[in-house]
Structure 1
Amino acid sequence: MIARIAGRLVELTPGGSACIETGGGLTYEVLVPSAAVAALTLQLGQVVALSTLQYFEGNIASGNLVPRLLGFLTPADRAFFQEFTKVRGISLRRGLRAMSLPAAQLAAAIESGDERLLSSLPEIGKKTAAQIVADLRGKLGEFAGAAAGGPTPVAAEWTGVRRVALEILVQWGDRRADAQRWIAAALEEVPDLREPEEIVRAAYRVKNRVG
């Protein structure tokens, strides 16, 4: 099984298809979760590394099987996805589209029984949200606390797009306290930022300026 891929990100679609050019002239198509697209958009043209899962898609009876690679920003994201797709009705493709928020935030929602948030995810209605909570609640504590370094509550101002931008910076290896400081400074300078990738870019401008 291919467990990790590293190379230059040469193409990325909004639908979550990333093309990664590795050594030897090979370029691999890797399917990534919705939440990873914003982070990877900022790294287009750069060398990236993804934790991967490999599976075969198609009809085994007809012998028409196509190998697919799924890519994740961190091993923890990959492990969460493996648990998430154990829920009846959540296929691998559906799971990728549904993961439009960071894994830590989704895990926290599942652990707290927040069916309202879960039902707002792409392709996840009320019935599936209830099934997710029934199947996984009590099993995802390690993921819910991973991003914060422990199961501490998230302040109200760190929700929505701010939260997504914060998790992107943390997944890239920045300390949570530093990332919060940079994001807060960036939004103080430009309050009308509305997209996570815009906030991340502005936060890194602050980082480069003040450290």
Structure 2
Amino acid sequence: MYEYLKGLITQVSPGTIVLETKDGVGYKIYPANPYHFEVNQEAQVFVEQIVRETEMSLYGFATLTEKQLFNKLLNVSGIGPKSALAILAGAKPADLVTAIEQSQVDYLTQFPGVGKKTAQQIVLDLSGKMDDFASLVEQASASFADSGATGAAKSSSNLEDALAALEALGYGPKDIKKVEKALLGQDGSTSDLVSKGLTLLVTG
């Protein structure tokens, strides 16, 4: 139904953002990394609407490529919206396409909700079907531009928010503790810390 939404970011939380359009409607969106955004930032977000019996949700993406990959992943048996979003949060689109085409099952099992059986299913269902992304992979590294942090936000507060964002993506207490230990004392915006945390979790 929707291709993208443009408007003002009015709320950022560990699992969601709210984007208010010019007509005054606020859309609750589930992005891979909410802290790419800041309150009062003008943004364009590619979205996919998922409708279920008891739920209607919007999932948000930095690029059209990410949205298309999200929909590809949803075609895999055992992959739901939250799992697909967590995969895209932790993997660069080009790396994900390469992993699928080269049957890198171990790489895929590093994401929350993806066991060996599901990873094998991703390869089985999508391998050989990613050619339509060949011309887009170079664009896949494009990301939301982080706005520099303003004010004197404490690193500890940024880390707490980053850990909450990882938890919202489905990572368990053991993984969160691992990230907290590795990032403790590091400087950076919440978005930076989320990205670093995801890198640690994916690369081990």
Please classify the TM superposition score into its range, dividing by the shorter chain length.
0.5 to 0.7
The answer to whether 1:45 aligns with 2:45 is: no
Kindly tell me: are residues 195 and 87 of structure 1, through their superposed partners in 2, closer, same or farther at Cα, counting changes over 3 Å?
A: farther
- Between the aligned partners of 1:116 and 1:144, the Cα distance in structure 2 is 23
Distance 1:195 1:133 in 2: 35
Deviation at 1:9, TM superposition (A): 1.4
After superposition, give the CA deviation of every residue in 1:122-175 in whole Å (9 maximum; x if it has no partner): 1111111111111111111343663336xxxxxxxxxxxxxxxx93xx2359xx
Q: 1:23 to 1:194 in 2, by over 3 A?
A: closer
Alpha-carbon distance between aligned partners in 1 of 2:133 and 2:39, rounded to the nearest angstrom: 27
Distance 1:29 1:103, change over 3 A: same
Asked if 1:72 is matched to 2:51, the reply is no
Q: Which runs of 5+ in 2 are unaligned?
A: 146-185, 194-204
The whole-number CA distance in structure 1 between the counterparts of 2:119 and 2:188 is 27
Question: How many percent of aligned residue pairs carry the same amino acid?
Answer: 26
Alpha-carbon distance between aligned partners in 2 of 1:79 and 1:46, rounded to the nearest angstrom = 25
Q: Could you list the per-position Cα deviations for residues 69-115 of structure 1 after superposition, in whole angstroms to 9, with x for gaps in the alignment? A: 12111111111111111010111222222322222221111111111
Secondary structure at 2:138 match in 1: coil
Measure the CA separation in 1 of the matches of 2:191 and 2:58: 25
Residue 29 (structure 2) aligns with: 30
CA distance in 1, matches of 2:55, 2:8: 23
SS in 1 for 2:23: helix
Give the partner amino acid of 1:80.
L
Change (3 A) 1:109 1:195: farther
Find the structure with the greater CA-based Rg.
1
Question: Which consecutive unaligned segments of at least 5 residues does structure 1 have?
Answer: 59-64, 150-165, 174-191, 200-211
AA at the equivalent of 1:171: S
Normalised TM-score (structure 1): 0.62
Q: How far apart, CA to CA, are the structure 1 residues paired with 2:125 and 2:188?
A: 34
Query: Residue 98 of structure 1 contacts residue 123 of structure 1 at CA under 8 Å; is this kept in 2?
Result: no
Counterpart secondary structure, 1:120: coil
User: TM-score scaled by structure 2?
Assistant: 0.64
Which residue, out of 142, 148, 152, partners 2:138?
148
Distance of aligned partners of 1:194 and 1:101 in 2 relative to their CA distance in 1, 3 Å threshold = farther
For residue 64 of structure 2, what is the amino acid of its counterpart?
P
Aligned residues: 152
Task: Compute the displacement of 1:196 (Å).
Answer: 9.2
- Counterpart of 1:95, as a letter, is A
Is this contact kept in 2: 1:111–1:141, CA < 8 A? no
